[in-house]
Amino acid sequence: MQGDPDPVTGMVVDLKLLKGVLEREVIGVMDHRHLNHEVEPFSSVIPTAENLVKEIWTRLEGHLDFGNARLHSVRLYETDDLYVDYSGDGHK
């Protein structure tokens, strides 16, 4: 998330709201699923880390615009030291 902290709460975004969106749009849909068979678009797109992070961005972008803050980037870890970053401008 990127934005200005709320002057009352001091937070850029309420983490409870963020967690709810993540649970609903990503975790609930993808966690413990066979991605190739149960999660679109992965029946026709190989679920590489690069493709997954782009799909996660797409699923989150419309739900994470709070006026003072918006989605800035998504980082997906494959291992402790291997990850992919994605921002809406398409840079990885």
Q: pLDDT of 44-61, one tens digit each? A: 999 999 999 999 999 999
Pick the CATH number of 2-86 from 3.30.420.40, 3.30.450.20, 3.30.479.10, 1.10.3470.10: 3.30.479.10
Residue 90: pLDDT over 60: no
CB atoms within 10 A of CB 21: 16
How many other CB atoms are there within 10 angstroms of residue 11's CB atom?
15
Distance between CA atoms of residues 14 and 88, nearest Å: 22
Residue 91 confidence (pLDDT) above 60: no
**Residue type at 68?**
N
Strand partners for 87: none
- Per-residue pLDDT averaged across 35-45, rounded? 96
- By the 8 A CB rule, do 42 and 36 touch? yes
CA-CA distance, 36 to 42, in Å (whole number)? 5
How high is the pLDDT of residue 67?
79
What pLDDT is attached to residue 88? 78
pLDDT of residue 70: 87
- In one letter, which amino acid is 92? K
Residue 42 three-state SS: coil
Please tell me the pTM assigned to this model.
0.87
Query: What's the length of the chain?
Result: 92
